[in-house]
Amino acid sequence: MCGRFTLHHSTEEVSERFAAQQVLFPLEARYNIAPGQAIPVVANSTLAGARWMEAMKWGLVPFWSKDPEIGNRLINARAETIAEKPAYKQALKRRRCILPSDGFYEWKAQDSGPRVPHHIRLRNGELFGFAGLWEEWEAPDGSPLRTCAIITVAPNELMAPIHNRMPAILRREEENAWLDPELKETDALVALLKSYSAEEMEAYPVSRRVNAPQNDDESCIEAAPPEEEQARLF
């Protein structure tokens, strides 16, 4: 799964990297983004093909849902089943998006003791995009709520010892296809969702400060201190 990630690049860097022509969500450096929060989403408009970046709530609420609380359970969508699941199959065809990121967290289980958080990123430190889906839900008073989910896939060789899932990171050359509103062939879309090359990624343990979403500063991505020091701090 993917339950936390980072985005500390500037608005200008992100909008340029993903060719967003309209930016409706100025960014601040984030080091511990959590579900339920407003996050930047890049998508193509069906009008004139313009690409925009705006804020959406992380946790997808299907347009047909009667209760927006369902979004708390739909932060991730499994690539293997999104074409059949009622919560995702319409969004797969019509409402795909990219979630900009520069790293994410996963927790590795131990034989004993608490799980150890790891920060995972590209070796070159560059921005990348998670494949995602978005929806617009209408509240009883008529107000719209836009939400999103990150798609996950099987882990690569780097991630497998840490967790049994990883976010679907799009290859740069495949991003345009993923956002293309004219592409609605399910098999072609699902084929874009695969494990990213392990050779181009790195992972390292970080402080357990990241366990608490309110801790959101640069120290979250620093390499973890020795275990005995962590024990004193937490």
Instruction: Work out the angle at residue 99's Cα, subtended by the Cα atoms of residues 97 and 105, and round it to the nearest 5 degrees.
Output: 140
Annotation says 97 is catalytic = no
16, 54, 69, 106: which is the annotated catalytic residue?
106
Give every CB contact of residue 202 below 8 A, 6+ residues apart in sequence: 120, 121, 122, 123, 158
Amino acid at 178: W
Torsion of CA 165, 223, 58, 185, to 10 degrees: -40
* Cα–Cα nearest to 30, from 1, 51, 12, 9: 9
Annotation says 2 is catalytic = yes
Cα 133 from Cα 152, distance rounded (Å): 11
3-class DSSP state for residue 107?
Answer: strand
Torsion of CA 228, 229, 233, 234, to 10 degrees: -30
Q: Are 119 and 192 in contact (CB under 8 A)?
A: no
DSSP string, 43-72: EE-SSTT-EEEEEEEES---TT-S-GGGGG
2, 97, 148, 220: which is the annotated catalytic residue?
2
The pair of three-digit structure tokens given for residue 95, joined into one six-digit string: 């409402």
Query: Catalytic site residues?
Result: 2, 106
